[in-house]
Structure 1
Amino acid sequence: MGNTTGVRVVSAAATVAALVFGVEGLSDASGVLAFGPPALRLVATVVAGVCGAVVLVAALRSRDRRAVALGVTVLAFALAWAVSGPIAAALYWIARAALVAFGVLTVRGLRGPQRVLGWVVTIAAALWFVASLLTQTVPPPSTAQEVLVVVYAIPSPLQAVAFLAAAVLVAVPLLRPVGAGAGSLWSSAEVR
């Protein structure tokens, strides 16, 4: 998308989608909404899925590999809720791998604070991938309830960190006008 409004719409969609799954990871990690209202989680997942589809379509049109990776991540994660069994498991693995790809593409393509956030996404998503793999394939070291709670709680905070850092990265086009406006106000201020 070449126009500013289109970029902002896609950025807003990507931000909403990443925030939904970041907050989901936080709620799962904290246990507050771990078994929370299913209707709210369903609506949030559907909204994130629609936003992911918008991002994916726009990214495919503009051939933006970073946005394609984020769109695939969000769409696969949202679709995994709608299906069950091995298809859902495959979609979750696709989502995790695509988020790692999003982080790597960010690190390779951007500089400064955005590159640092790209590293945060890459590391958190890779650890999330590995922790999820280990919790599903390796038996826990103990069957004590306390150990099981800790072991199975590890992927959720990693999911939250990866998606929330991705949300900050994709929100940059939305934040640029705010920064420009603040800079304009600062430069025109009488008192500094």
Structure 2
Amino acid sequence: MRLCPLIFSQVLYEDSQMVTLTAPYIAGFLAFRETPFLLEALQRLERNQPRLLPQVVFVDGNGLFHYREFGLACHLGVLSGLPCVGVAKNLLQVQGVYKSEEHQSKIAALQKGGDSFPLAAASGKVLGKALRSSDKSSKPVYVSVGHKISVDTAVHLTHSCCRYRVPEPIRQADFRSREYLRTHFPAADT
């Protein structure tokens, strides 16, 4: 878990812990495998540094933009009571949203960082948005509501946290977890 304030984009708190995953990865069921460990990390933060409990949590995964409209960001948000935003690096092809020519042309139309377009189900319900997170990245991220936040606020906060393609809290967590593995388990393939 990494905490980064929006304005300063520096890590204020770091918590790395090796865990044993007992469930296999199954697409659409990531929350059942990972939420318990994320909740434990938030509980440790609340015990150790309660003043640093985040106002919003960014999750490397989906929220409403999910097969059952209830991804990892929704699970974590509901169980923690904190506002959560799901940010996925890859398009989850679900409910009529596909990597089609139309989708590719919408991506090409994103001119600058902050530009986005809705990801609407076949029913018309907006499940999230594709966001060009920075001027430097032409490949979007897929932002969706997890809990206690609107899709527009989720997109705004995600864009505000991006120096590069991925929001800084997620990017730092990815980087530092790989560094943790390299340091503590040098023989592991990271």
Give the structure-2-normalised TM-score: 0.30
Give the structure-1-normalised TM-score: 0.30
- Select the structure of larger CA radius of gyration: 1
RCO higher in structure (CA 8 A, sep ≥6): 1
